[in-house]
Structures are given as C-alpha cells and as structure tokens.
Amino acid sequence: MSPLETKVRALFDAYGKRSDDALQNPPREDVEGMIASFASFFVESSPKGVIGGANDDRFRQVIPTGFARYRRVGGKHMTIKGIRVIELDRLHAVADVDWQFDYVNKAGKTGQVTFTNFYCVTIAGGTPRIFAYMTPDEDQAMQEHGLV
C-alpha cells in the first residue's frame, strides 16, 4: 500500500467511526474531528446540484444538525463497508466509499440503506483532507425505506 493510500484509508477509518459514534445513544459527536476531515473549502455534488462552502463556523453548526436528522429518522449505525482508493498523483486521490446506514423506521422495522459516495482527497500540507464529494439521492432512499 502506498503512503497516499495509507493516509486516505486512515482518514476514512476515523471519519467512519465519528459518523457511527454520532448516531449512538447518547450521541458522541466529534465536531472538531469532522471539521478537520475537510479542506478549508470544499464542493458537494448531489441530485440537488453542486454547492461549495467554506470550512467555517456555519459548517461547524451544520454537522450536529445533520447527525440529529439521521437519529430523528431512526438511524442507529453508519458504517463503512468498503473503501477503494484511486491515486491520481502523489498528492490526490479519489476514495470510493461504500456506506451502510442501519435504522429502525417509524413502523419499528429495522433495515439498512447502502450507498456509495466518492470523495476527492488531497494530502497537500501533509494531512489528508476532503475537498469534494459526490453523493446519491439521500432523500429518495430515506423515503423508499419509510424513514421520512
């Protein structure tokens, strides 16, 4: 495994653990750790469109809100089931990350939503940081599983 791949995998090992910890009861939210996972500016692409944002106080406030939403709809676990790292050069990679979201829906039924996100990662400055990510339609998946 290359040094770049090792760093990218370590980034997502920690990111995945933080995501899962935030869904526990009681939640263990590591907002500072999540903030540290992202570059000073980053871009998101989803079916809702493309947006960019600064890693600032507003982002710091959005993180707990997002995890609260996952808990509110019945989220119990968010775990990484697989990571594929595609090295682009010595500083950049794409992480193809398979996630599993375990839930108990409004009717009390347990289930799982699986999805893949793609993350663009840089190690410029020595520390891996996410500077872009692409996600599927999360709202549609939640509707299909009776979560919203």
**pLDDT confidence band for 138 (50 / 70 / 90):** confident
Residue 78 and residue 101 in contact, taking contact as beta carbons nearer than 8 Å? yes
Q: Does 78 have pLDDT greater than 90? A: yes
Q: Which residue, among 105, 102, 100, 103, has the nearest Cα to 117 in the 3D structure?
A: 100
As a whole number of angstroms, the distance between CA 68 and CA 35 comes to 17
Q: What is the mean pLDDT of residues 144-148?
A: 86
Residue 107 has pLDDT above 90, yes or no: no
CA distance 148 to 80: 23
Q: Name all domains of the chain by residue range, CATH numbers in brackets.
A: 3-144 (3.10.450.50)
How far is 105 from 148, CA to CA, in rounded Å? 9
Q: What percent of the chain has pLDDT over 90?
A: 89
pLDDT band at 48 (very low <50, low <70, confident <90, very high): very high
User: Is pLDDT at 142 greater than 90 in this prediction?
Assistant: no
